[in-house]
Amino acid sequence: MINVSLNNEAAEIPDQTLLSEALAQWDYGEQKLAVAINGEFVPRSRYGEVALREGDRLDIVKPVGGG
């Protein structure tokens, strides 16, 4: 298991978890959102390629509609 920060809260996930797997585990599923790891945004097309590492800081933002 590794420890990461998810929106400034501690989270524990299995080592070598892909970003797409972690998002599903955290119930984000197929929602439209933006994800930054350690301050760098990750394109949605790479969610299934990026493996999370010990100490990664994830910021997940959902778009807000309105006007």
Going along the chain from its start, the domains and CATH numbers come out as 2-61 (3.10.20.30)
In a structure prediction context, what are the per-residue pLDDT tens digits for the chain, which is 67 residues long? Answer: 999 999 999 999 999 999 999 999 999 877 889 999 999 999 999 999 999 999 999 999 987 776 6
Q: What is the pTM of this model?
A: 0.87
**β 2-6/34-37 pair status:** unpaired
**Residue 12 CB contacts under 8 Å (≥ 6 apart), including other chains:** 1, 2, 3, 4
Residue 50, amino acid: V
